[in-house]
Amino acid sequence: MRRSLVWAALGTVAVVALAASALGSGAGLNARALRVAAGSQTFTVNVDGVNKKVNESFDAYFPSVVSVHAGDTVVFHYVGVGEPHTVALGSLANAAVSAFDKLSPAQANNPPKSALALDAKLPQFTNGPASGVVPAAGNPCFLASGTPSSKAPCPAGAQPAFDGKQSYYDSGWFKANEKFTVHLSSSTPAGSYRFMCLVHREFMQGTIKVVPSGTMVASPAAQYASGQKQLATDEAGLVAAAKLLAQGKPPIPGVSLPGSHPILVGSGAPGSNDPGQIDQFGPTLVHIPVGGSVTWWLAGLHTITFNSTKADNDIQSVAKNGDVQINGKAAAPVGGPGEPPKPPTGGTQAHIKFKIVASQTWNGTGFHNSGIFGNSQPPNIEGYKLTFTHAGTYKFICTVHDNMKGTVVVGNS
Ligand SMILES: [Cu+2]
């Protein structure tokens, strides 16, 4: 199960605290913002968040709780820079998120079988690094009852209104700036409907709270503003880590990157519940001699990709019919092996273990790609080492995240 909080394994990961930080309906809002049941309002929930100052992504929904009436509409708007997400509603997601909510921080790090069994009823985003996206997770899928297939596509059909009774109601993998519009049936019973991301699982979740008609909810603008306030708090939690990352330093006191010319790939707030991560290389520029090496230490879902073209600089490919799939060229290793299937072990919560898991030599020509590293997170950080045999200036990107770039200058160029 993918943890959303890449550095949080160092501290306590309190899923419960995520829920506790959520906006209560109408909490602290101006009375003028309150309205009686309208039944036809549209509320916006941002999926992920954008920090204009630092390239970041947030495994969270803003706001994470939206209070509405039956008959209203909730628009989930993906605003991120490439971190993959979905919104899965329905009774299966509701049961899984509710079960994880009850776990202690220690249990959340090692969930009991009962919680894992509920999680397993929802498809994984992929069934392994070599496989593509699971159709029922990566593309919109709406089931009135039963569990979605882990392999076969969902039955085709128009998106129904959400009535609170469907078993599975998934947006699919969001495309850039995509909106997923959920009309709530006028017959939706009052209650809390949990939703989650099929990539980041129960650690990225939220609630549509349908209140009885006659009960007031805060206006769409006021609820949206509360979500953005939470985002600002989460952004503030990453400021210290972003400063350190720019200098090539991890966010943990006393820990430095091993090897010559190391580059840290992504960072986050250690020991906190901040759902944000920084999607930048640190440093963004290194100079090495001909025959020298660079080691990238990856934290989070990233790639190191050289000489990419526009067609291959994104792990998501969209077919003409709108179906999404993983772009194999952007996601898989090219020019040598990438991440091994099993994550390294040995690090403890307090002591980060760095281990180079892929080591290659490159002459600087042609497309070259580490492929996605998906298992690298504290306390076990995986390294990708590349030895450069020819002088030159080599620009690289991450194919998961937009705007994530760096440069290696080899020799005196
Ligand atoms: Cu990245």
Instruction: Report the Cα 99 to chain-centroid distance in Å.
Output: 21
Residue among 28, 36, 102, 59 at smallest CA distance from 238:
59
Instruction: Tell me how far the alpha carbon of residue 61 lies from the centroid of ligand 1, in angstroms.
Output: 20
Write down the pLDDT at residue 379: 87
Residue at token pair 């963004």? 284
CA distance to 77, 140, 306, 324, per residue, from 159 (Å): 17, 8, 40, 17
CA of 183 from ligand 1 middle (Å) equals: 33
Per-domain residue ranges of the chain: 8-236, 239-410
| CA-wise closest residue to 88 among 140, 130, 37 | 140
At 378 the three-state DSSP class reads coil
Domain pair 8-236 / 239-410, same fold: yes
Closest by Cα among 40, 61, 25, 21 to 192: 25
Ligand 1 centroid from CA 269, angstroms: 16
- Kindly report each contact of residues 255-260 with a partner whose C-beta sits within 8 Å and lies 24 or more positions away, as own/partner: 255/352, 257/295, 257/297, 257/354, 258/295, 258/354, 259/293, 259/295, 259/354, 259/356, 259/383, 259/385, 260/288, 260/292, 260/293, 260/295
| pLDDT confidence of residue 413 | 59
Beta bridge partners of 77: 46, 179
pTM confidence score: 0.89
Say if residue 105 is preceded by a cis peptide, omega within 30 of 0.
no
Q: Which residues, given as ranges, of the chain have pLDDT below 50?
A: 1-37
Q: What pLDDT shows up at residue 190?
A: 98
Instruction: State the architecture of 8-236 in CATH terms.
Output: Sandwich (2.60)
How many angstroms is it from 113 CA to the middle of ligand 1?
A: 32
Q: How far is the CA of 249 from the centre of ligand 1 (A)?
A: 17
244 phi-psi bin (left φ>0, alpha ψ -120 to 50, beta other): alpha
What's the CA-to-centroid distance between 302 and ligand 1, angstroms? Answer: 4
What beta strand segments (E) does 30-164 contain?
A: 34-35, 42-47, 56-58, 61-62, 65-68, 73-78, 88-89, 141-143
Cβ pair 369, 356 in contact under 8 A: no
Cα 85 to averaged position of ligand 1 atoms, centre (Å): 14
Rounded CA separation 193/216 (Å): 18
Of 102, 80, 56, nearest to 269 (Cα)? 56
State how beta strands 380-388 and 353-362 pair: parallel
| Interval between CA 43 and ligand 1 midpoint (Å) | 30
CATH superfamily of 239-410: Cupredoxins -  blue copper proteins (2.60.40.420)
Q: What confidence score (pLDDT) does residue 271 get?
A: 79
Query: Residue 143 Cα, ligand 1 centroid: separation in angstroms?
Result: 33
CA of 57 to the centre of ligand 1 (A): 10
Taking a 5 Å cut-off on Cβ, the residues next to ion ligand 1 are 279, 302, 398, 400-401, 404
Question: Shortest CA distance to 277 belongs to which of 59, 125, 1?
Answer: 59
Torsional sign, CA 357, 363, 364, 367: negative
**pLDDT value of residue 39:** 66
Q: How far is the CA of 369 from the centre of ligand 1 (A)?
A: 13
Residue 242 CA to residue 227 CA, distance in Å, equals: 22
- Ligand 1 centroid from CA 337, angstroms: 19
CA–centroid distance, 400 to ligand 1, in Å, is 5
Q: What is the CA(265)–ligand 1 centre distance, in A?
A: 7
